[in-house]
Amino acid sequence: MEGAPEEEKYRAILKKQQAAHTASKRKITLELNKNRKQLEILQMEIGKTLLGDSIYSPEDLKEAINVVKIRIADSEERLEKLWGKKLGRYDSKEANSARWIIAALSDFSNQLQARDIVRFLQFATSTFPEGRPPYEDRYIMPKQIREAIPDCSREKYKEIRDEMKAIYQILKIFEDMPEEEKVLPLTLDKISLSGEEIARLENQGYFIMADKKYYFPEIIRFALEFKYEKGARPRVLSLLAR
């Protein structure tokens, strides 16, 4: 029964546990993102090693990559206690929770700021599932994770408006587009920007071209109220994760 003492007690305990974990999980998430970037750099060194241009010996490179992989695995294991291994059951085909969240909060330059993580945790823990939670192996449910991203996007856009006025003026052109035209991906004929303005958005990580079509990162798309044409969403998530 809604509002029963047992349920209220359960919610109070859950909220207290979530608050206690927020700071540590923010740190772990940022460490995870940092280690993934380091792994990408080391993996690029493999090609340089084959050409004799790397500063690493093959043995040093192998050892460094193994160390970073261990750090990544450790961070992901600790984060699983917060939001689960996947956005569904452990054995489901749903996306890996940590990777999906980091991709959704990052721009196309793979930049993830501490305040983005703080915002996400605040929004994702602001509501609770009705009754017993669908999964008892985590604190934050998949529904809360997905519903937090649009709020994070709107707050991010406010920051851009206040702190990056030149970039905001370019993005506002998309914000003011008719609703029926707000569909991703965009082709060049649908973009009323100069080459310089497109380049500025690309350099900031807020715009990317793939197969001659343009996309926004999720952290920007929701605030601009753009939707996807069929099949485009998996494409943009792969661009965010690369």
Predicted TM-score (pTM) of this structure: 0.70
Q: Specify the pLDDT at position 115.
A: 86
**Domain residue ranges in the chain:** 5-151, 164-241
CB neighbour class for 39 (10 Å; exposed up to 12, middle 13-18, buried from 19): middle
pLDDT digits (tens, 9 = 90+) for 76-95: 677 787 888 899 888 888 88
Q: For residue 139, what is the DSSP state?
A: S
**Confidence band (pLDDT; 50, 70, 90) for 32?**
low
Rounded to an integer, what distance in angstroms lies between the CA atom of residue 55 and that of residue 49?
A: 8
Report yes or no: 178 and 200 within 8 Å, Cβ to Cβ. no
97: closest CA among 65, 47, 137, 37? 137
Q: Specify the pLDDT at position 67.
A: 73
Torsion over CA of 74, 75, 80 and 83, rounded to 10 degrees?
A: 180
pLDDT digits (tens, 9 = 90+) for 6-27: 556 555 555 555 555 555 666 6
